[in-house]
Amino acid sequence: MPRMATYSLTAELSVTRLTDPKDVLTRTANTAHIYAPSVAIPTMTPNLARNDPWKVITPLLPKAWFSILSDLNLISTFSDIPIGLTEGFCLGAGPPLLFALPHPTIALHMIILRPYTVTSMLRVVPKSNPSEYWIIQDLSFPQDSPINSSVNSEINTSTYSCTWGFFDDIVDIILTAPPGTMAATLDINAAYCQMPIHPDDQPNLVVAWGDLFFIDHCAPFGAASSNGIFSRCSDAMWLILMALLKLIVHKWVDNFVVFRPPPTLPGGTTSIEDIYTIALPLGWPWKPAKTCPFAFSFIFLGFEWSIPDHTISIPLAKHKKYLSRLDNWLNSNSTSLMDTQRLAARDEALWWRTHLDSKCTHYLQPSPSIYPTPFYMDASTTFGIAVTAESQWVSWHLLHPWRSEGRDISWAKMVAVAMALELSIALGIHNSTVCFRSDNQGVVFALEAGHSRSHPQNELIKFITLQAAEFNIHIHTSYIASADNPADHPSHGLHPTTKLTQFSGHINIPPHLAPFLAHATLVPPDNPTVMPLPPHTSCGLTHPTTNYPASYMTMHNCGAVEKLFMEACINYQPSAQLSAAQLDYTPLAPPPTQSHAPHNYHSAVAHSPDFPPHTPSCLIPTLSHPEISLSPTASTGLTKALQHGLVQST
């Protein structure tokens, strides 16, 4: 309304313009001043369209990648790269459940009423450079929730592969490189952040901060598939560099190392600029601050390598960091739980403190020659462990209570590896690379990585590593299907399907495995005979394995039987009839000492109440007197031993 209003009323009585008007009373109305705030006249502004939050963002250039991959005949292997750089890569988390798709109205209604919006937790981890940090989305949250599953739990990581440059690969290169070889290392700038995520998967990458919500458009730290997504481009870049530079290249995630021969050989004049020139048209962002030019020593996989000296050592900066951390912990009266977890215990800290005072340098040695015959191993819960090598086999029975305190079938499979190593030592193998074949991929990967998630398995891996180092045996483990594994049948108490003979020599059982293993053999499958037990044990009782063929049965050595006499409890009643597998009631003398063993339990068999002496595997002697009178105590012990010694194979 106007800031001030004044009005008057005037009446004009003329009907037509020819009639003079008459004067009438004029009425004037005045009102008080009314004040109101001034209002600016609004202006019309255009309504800008909202930005699309689901973007595909990457510095990598799809057309350039398609061109170079096509030129190098790699497009068939990496055809997904140009598409992924254009449309975004799939994170791998599952789409909406299929049973919800036919009912979109109901699903939408429930979403509106009860919005199940989940955001990821953030973690900030400092890098080695104090001014740099990793921002990690915890896509494994929540863990073990019966209501909401985490993003990572829906990702099948087996569909994402990656090429790795392992420790042994670098060792082989350094040991075989010609004099004058140099190496350069390069690092990708914010590697995962270069990989775009498909808009359909971006709702899985929402982050809440305060009252705001943010969407990560690129592969984040914390997603189970991020490394696999990045590896599509990094694997391709690895092959591109080798094809164009004609040099040996290895990588570990986003760290690349390029080996250059001396100038007199092809590729010997390659420079860092040549590597950058290849990457620039692709949008591949090398990080200049992390680029180290060609030199005789380089840092890769966390170690400093010297090509001329054939050595590997802990880098000086890392050496000082560990020493400082140890000194602070050892000199403090109190410490936080986190600091204590880093150092585990004072004794271990002192051990590291002593060793870090030295140079911490290891001299690389060539791998020993490959032993011509592979070793096969297997384990089963129904019988025990078996190993085959050359034309021989050997088996051990698993003793109760082996399946306890974290020991499971994976532990038993790792025990099979340890016993295969013992067999190789018994055969006199040393200074050799031995091929082990296992049908358990977890065992293969754990040995390759040097650790597992199982504490009992880790203890076995440490034992295997130390034992192999003592005899300079390098173990190369690979996978074999159970159907092709010759150790599968004897590990289940069955005779091998191939013509193998039982190993007749002596194999030591490591002391820490002695409570769980006993030497065993299989009863010959042909023409089993039946003989009666002594009369005082014939009580019309039935043994559970009486109705099974003799080939399904095994017997232990005398030491194991003595152990079973003390520990076994009667669960089944033995039969008055027994197949021809019999105990040798006369204790056998321990075998002679193995001459090849420098020390430890290989130099002598320890005789102790806890670990009875082991005997050779000739466990089925022919008895000259089938009718033998036993005392009640011996009869009870024999019953217990048979009960543990005859095991049905399933």
Q: How large is the average pLDDT for residues 140-156?
A: 80
Report the percent of the chain where pLDDT is more than 90: 42
Q: How large is the average pLDDT for residues 471-488?
A: 93
Please state, in angstroms and as integers, the Cα–Cα distance from residue 439 to each residue in 284, 476, 485, 546, following that order: 41, 14, 7, 31
Better-predicted residue by pLDDT, 176 or 536: 176
Per the prediction, the chain carries an average pLDDT of: 75
Judged by phi (left if over 0) then psi (alpha if -120 to 50, else beta), residue 229 lies in alpha
Better-predicted residue by pLDDT, 649 or 277: 277
Greatest mean pLDDT range, 16-25, 310-319, 592-601: 310-319
pLDDT score of 604 more than 60: no
Better-predicted residue by pLDDT, 523 or 492: 492
pLDDT score of 8 more than 70: no
pLDDT score of 630 more than 70: no
End-to-end CA distance of the chain: 98
Q: What is the pLDDT of residue 271?
A: 97
User: Which has the minimum average pLDDT: 2-16, 169-183, 263-277, 293-307?
Assistant: 2-16
Summarised one tens digit per residue, pLDDT across range 419-453 is 999 999 999 999 999 999 999 999 999 998 888 88
User: Which has the minimum average pLDDT: 403-412, 577-586, 636-645?
Assistant: 577-586
Q: How large is the average pLDDT for residues 527-549?
A: 35
Q: How large is the average pLDDT for residues 450-464?
A: 92
Angle at 622 between CA 618 and CA 623, to 5 degrees: 125
609 class by beta-carbon count within 10 Å (0-12 exposed, 13-18 middle, 19+ buried)? exposed
- CA dihedral sign of residues 458, 460, 463, 469: negative
Cβ atoms within 10 Å of 390's Cβ, excluding its own:
13
Summarised one tens digit per residue, pLDDT across range 216-246 is 889 998 899 999 999 999 999 999 999 999 9
User: Which has the minimum average pLDDT: 131-145, 156-170, 498-512, 589-603?
Assistant: 589-603
Per-residue confidence band for 186, with pLDDT thresholds at 50, 70 and 90: very high
Q: How far apart are the C-alpha atoms of 288 and 432, rounded to whole Å? A: 43
pLDDT score of 4 more than 90: no
Q: What is the pLDDT of residue 37?
A: 55
Q: What is the pLDDT of residue 221?
A: 87
User: Which has the minimum average pLDDT: 351-360, 436-445, 476-485?
Assistant: 351-360
Summarised one tens digit per residue, pLDDT across range 80-116 is 999 999 999 999 876 544 444 455 554 444 333 333 3
CB 123 within 8 A of CB 133: no
On whether the 375-514 domain is CATH 3.40.50.720, my answer is: no
Q: How large is the average pLDDT for residues 175-181?
A: 96
pLDDT score of 490 more than 50: yes
Q: How far apart are the C-alpha atoms of 647 and 581, rounded to whole Å? A: 12
Report the percent of the chain where pLDDT is more than 70: 66
User: b/e string for 271-293 if b means 16 or more Cβ within 10 A?
Assistant: ebeebeebbeebebbbeeeeebe
pLDDT score of 590 more than 90: no
Q: What is the pLDDT of residue 582?
A: 33
Taking Cα atoms as reference points, which of 621, 619, 594 lies closest to residue 605? 594
Q: What is the pLDDT of residue 650?
A: 33
Q: What is the pLDDT of residue 535?
A: 38
Q: How large is the average pLDDT for residues 163-180?
A: 92
Summarised one tens digit per residue, pLDDT across range 287-345 is 999 999 999 999 999 999 999 999 999 998 888 888 888 888 778 877 777 766 666 66
Per-residue confidence band for 602, with pLDDT thresholds at 50, 70 and 90: low
Where do the CATH 3.30.420.10 domains begin and end in the chain? 375-514
Q: What is the pLDDT of residue 44?
A: 65
Q: What is the pLDDT of residue 23?
A: 54
Q: What is the pLDDT of residue 613?
A: 36
Per-residue confidence band for 30, with pLDDT thresholds at 50, 70 and 90: low
pLDDT score of 562 more than 70: no
442 Cβ partners below 8 Å, 6+ apart? 410, 413, 452
**Hey, is 590 helix, strand or coil?**
coil
